[in-house]
Structure 1
Amino acid sequence: MRDVFQKELAEIENGLVEISQLVRDAIERAAKAFETSDVALAESVMSDDVQIDMKANALDELAINILARQAPVARDLRVVVSALRISASLERMGDLAAHIAQLARLRFPEQVGPVAVRETILKMGQHDIQIAGRLVELIDTQSDEIAEEIKAADDQIDAFHKSIMDALLAEGLEAQAPQVVDATLASRYHERFADHAVSIAKKIQYLTSGDWLTDEECAQEA
């Protein structure tokens, strides 16, 4: 029974790596579709999001089944509980990539957002791609160093988001209302994508150390 239990735990951990790889691929293609107004690529991101959802649901079912049958304790319990929360964040990150792709499809053949902020949105996309790549490595290795890198990288995403909001609210902005709405949504989607990566990084650190977030960190995450 112990061997079966360990195989199931390994299946959960491998499943998280697989889902994170799909999320990394989704944000790469979504950012490319946004940049190039490639409607076919955008639609592929949206349709492939179902695969992320299905794998996340299957992993959750396995984790719940383990809790019911094995009653894990100590680190094993942390693995299962953390997996449930991490899969939820990964599933949401896939949704956000699909939302970014949807903006590209919605405005095809036009580019999304006003010129004043479009370059910054593209930079946010590239940073999220880098964060997603590091996230795959983090889930695979559970490296505290990579977790800290992801948390630090989120600061740049937040700075980009603030600069876009400031530009959209500035007087004299030459943009139509739909462009402003699209840019606001795109920036928010990228900002939330990085936030979920940070949330996962904190959960990985909890998994490896057993130390949960401080009250201040919990408030920031919420």
Structure 2
Amino acid sequence: MCAAAATAMRQATGALLEADLSLAEHVLATDAAPDAKRTECEEHAYSLLALQAPVARDLRIVLAATYGAEKIERMGDLAAHIADNARFAHPNHAVPAELRDTVAQLGDIAAGMADRLATFVTAPAAGSFAELEDIDMTVDQLHAGMLAQISAADFVHGPQVAANLALIVRFYERG
């Protein structure tokens, strides 16, 4: 699921930055798969809870897996929202040229967080979740910087573009 979320985020960012309609539509078309995986994970967790009655450590693992599946699935949904913005703006770019580097950074960071989470799941000793918190601080700073730029009096692209950009950066920030 983590790899699928990272791929979706990379593709959505690519669609957004390149005004690529077919890539945006691909992201939207593949969004149902992570939803199904999350449901499968939840059903498996419910079965484990009901049939195995796990104790302490095992219970924490089951609950953490369910929580993690929900968060990763949400990242896929956010990627779909980003792709939807690219589709809506097509054939134009949804992101003005002077802001594309910041959006590219946000996309790279979001996809990288999903990749890093996959590493934590498969090899827990490979790092700590504190790393993700540090990365999240960078995302928060980029988010705040973008909001400052688009709400400035000298923002020349108009209120519609500003509103769409506020949504787009919020989708990255929530990922």
Indicate the TM-score class for this superposition, using the shorter chain for normalisation: over 0.9
Residue 153 of structure 1 aligns with an amino acid whose one-letter code is I
Partner of 2:73: 91
* In structure 2, distance between residues paired with 1:82 and 1:131: 17
Residue 132 of structure 1 aligns with an amino acid whose one-letter code is A
How many residues align? The count is 175
Unaligned runs of 5+ in 2: none
| 1:24 is the counterpart of 2:29 | no
- Deviation at residue 115 of structure 1 after TM alignment: 3.9
| Alignment deviations for residues 103-137 of structure 1 (CA, whole Å, 9 cap, x no partner) | 11110010013344333122211221222211211
* Partners of 1:124 and 1:157 within 8 A in 2: yes
2:43 to 54, 61, 64: 61
Partner of 1:168: 150
* Partners of 2:151 and 2:162 within 8 A in 1: no
1:123-162 alignment, distance < 5 Å: 123-143=105-125, 145-162=127-144
* In structure 1, distance between residues paired with 2:134 and 2:8: 22
* In structure 1, distance between residues paired with 2:125 and 2:17: 32
If asked which structure has higher relative contact order (CA below 8 Å, sep 6+), I would say 2
Which secondary structure state, in structure 2, belongs to the residue aligned with residue 57 of structure 1?
Answer: helix
Q: CA RMSD in A?
A: 1.4
Q: Percent identity?
A: 32
Partner of 2:19: 37
* In structure 2, distance between residues paired with 1:75 and 1:105: 45
| 1:100 is the counterpart of 2:82 | yes
- Deviation at residue 147 of structure 1 after TM alignment: 2.0
Partner of 2:174: 192
Question: Which ranges of 4 or more aligned residues in structure 1 deviate by more than 6 Å?
Answer: none
- When Rg is computed on C-alpha atoms for both structures, the one with the higher figure is 1
* In structure 1, distance between residues paired with 2:73 and 2:29: 14
Q: Using structure 1 for the length normalisation, give the TM-score.
A: 0.75
Greater displacement, 32-41 / 141-150: 141-150
Which secondary structure state, in structure 2, belongs to the residue aligned with residue 143 of structure 1?
Answer: helix
* Partners of 1:26 and 1:45 within 8 A in 2: yes
* Partners of 2:16 and 2:95 within 8 A in 1: no
* In structure 1, distance between residues paired with 2:126 and 2:29: 34
Residue 123 of structure 1 aligns with an amino acid whose one-letter code is Q
- Deviation at residue 86 of structure 1 after TM alignment: 1.0
* In structure 1, distance between residues paired with 2:91 and 2:37: 33
Partner of 1:51: 33
* In structure 1, distance between residues paired with 2:47 and 2:13: 36
Which secondary structure state, in structure 2, belongs to the residue aligned with residue 101 of structure 1?
Answer: helix
Residue 112 of structure 2 aligns with an amino acid whose one-letter code is Q
Residue 39 of structure 1 aligns with an amino acid whose one-letter code is L
* Partners of 1:24 and 1:132 within 8 A in 2: yes
Q: Using structure 2 for the length normalisation, give the TM-score.
A: 0.94
